[in-house]
Amino acid sequence: MNNIGIVSYGHTKYDFLPDDAPQLMKGVIDECLESVEKGISPKDIGLVITSCVDNQFSNQHQTGALALRYLGNLDAEAFRVEAACSSGSMAAYVARKMLTAGYVDNALLVGFEKMSGVSTPTATSILIRGGSPEENLNGITQPAAYAMMAQIYMNKYGATEDDYALVSVKNHSNAMRNPLARFHKKLTVEDVKNSRIIASPIRLLHCSPINDGAAAILLSNRPKDFTDTPVFIKGMGLAHDTLGVFERSDPTSVMASKKAAQKAYKEANVGPKDIDVAEVHDAFTPVELMIYEDIGFAEKGKGYELIRDGTVNFDGKLPVNVSGGLKGKGHPVGATGIGMLVESFLQLRGEAGDRQVSEVNLGLVENHGGTGATSVVTILGR
C-alpha cells in the first residue's frame, strides 16, 4: 500500500464560522482541487468519502452525494463513514484500502463539522453519544469519562495536576504559530489550574473547544502524476477497544491506539524512535500523556516525563501537536482526523510556516473515537 500518497489539501480555520455544513464542504473541496500542482479533473476522482460525526450537526444525510455536487462529478462513488471522533482517519483508512485494491486511482476525503448553532441544549449532549450506551444513559459525558481515566492515571503513576496543565500550556503555545488554529492565546500552568472544574480532575482549560471547521485531502495511487512532492502513507493501523471506560482492565491506556500504532509501525517497518513529529488526539489534554506511552514514545507510566523535560515541546526532540492539537487548534469532530493528516503533510513538505519542525522525515498521527473504542494511527513520510 506504500504507493498511496496525499497530493493536496483544503483546510478552513477552526472557529465559529458563518458557513453552514454544505458551505464548509464546498470550501475545502474547492481548495483541495485547485491546489493540485499539476492539475486534476473532477472526473479523475472515482471515490469520495465524507466524515462527519453527527447528523444533528450536519443537518444532512447523504453527505457523500452532496460532496459529488461540489466536486462536479456525479459519476464518482460516495458515502459517509462514521466512527465518532476518529471518523476522519477512518475515511482515509477505508479509501486507502479501495485505492490499494485498484478499484479507483484517486479519492477525495472530506471531513467537516458544524457544531455551533445546533438546535439542542449543548453540543456536549450530542457528543455523549461517543461513549457506551451505559455511560450515555447515566450521564457520563465525554469529559467525565476522560476524568475517570485521568484520575486513575494520577493515582497509579504519580502524574500531577501540573503535568496535565503543561500539556494545555504547550498546545496553546504551539497554536500561536498556526493561523488555522482556534486559539491564539498563551496559557500558564496557573491559568489552567485556576480554570473551573468540568469533571475533576478535568478543568475547562483541559478541554478541546466546540467549533466549526472542515478539512479535505486528495489521496492517489499515482501521486507523482499530481505533484512532485507527495506525502506517502507508509503505514496505517486500525484497532478497537470497549466503548465504555468501565469495561477496560486498564483505563490508563488507550489500548486501541496502542494496537493501532503497533500495526502502523509494523507496516511502515519503523519504530517510535524513527518518528520526527506527531499529532495526537488530545481531546482532553491529560490523555495526551497516556498516548505518549501507547504509541511507544515513553514507557508505561512515564509519559508525563516527556512533558516535564520538554521533549515534546516545539523545540524539543520529539514535538507533539505542533499544530496546537485538538486543545489549541480546535476539534470540529468530523474534520479532526483529516486536519491532523493535513498537518503532517505540511510538516513533511516543509510548508508549515512558523511552526515548521526541522528535519522531518516521518510523521505520526493518532486519532481516536470517544475515549478510544476506535483508533487509527497513520505514519507518513516522503
Positions marked active-site: 85, 331
Interaction pattern, residues 230-269, with its own copies; x per rule: CB under 8 A = --------xxxxxx--------------------------
Residue 136 interacts with its own copies (CB under 8 A): yes or no = yes
Q: Does 111 bind its own copies (CB under 8 A)?
A: no
- How crowded is residue 128: how many other Cβ atoms within 10 Å of its Cβ? 21
Q: Considering CB under 8 A, how many residues would be counted as binding its own copies?
A: 53
**What whole-number distance in Å separates Cα of residue 366 and Cα of residue 89?**
9
The Cα 315–Cα 358 span in angstroms is 9
Burial string for 61-82 (b: 16+ CB within 10 Å, else e) reads eebbebbbebbebeebebebbb
Q: How many other C-beta atoms lie within 10 A of the C-beta of residue 201?
A: 18
Q: Which stretch binds its own copies (CB under 8 A): 125-133, 174-182, 186-194, 280-288?
A: 125-133
Q: Rounded to the nearest whole angstrom, what is the least distance from the CB of residue 127 to its own copies in the complex?
A: 8
Q: Which is nearer to its own copies, 55 or 269 (CB)?
A: 55
Cα distance from N-terminal residue to C-terminal residue, the chain: 14
SS3 366: strand
The answer to whether 337 contacts its own copies (rule: CB under 8 A) is no
Pick the piece of the chain touching its own copies (CB under 8 A) from 123-131, 149-157, 225-233, 343-351: 123-131
Taking only Cα atoms into account, the Rg of the chain, rounded to an integer number of angstroms, comes to 19
With b for 16 or more beta-carbon neighbours within 10 A and e for fewer, the 39-50 pattern comes to ebebebbbbbbb
Comparison of 55 and 188: residue with beta carbon closer to its own copies: 55
The binder of its own copies chosen from 43, 61, 186, 266 (CB under 8 A)? 61
Query: Where do contacts with its own copies occur on this chain (CB under 8 A)?
Result: 20-22, 53-56, 58-66, 68-69, 74-84, 90, 94, 97-98, 100-101, 103, 126-127, 129-130, 132-133, 136, 238-243, 369-370, 373-374
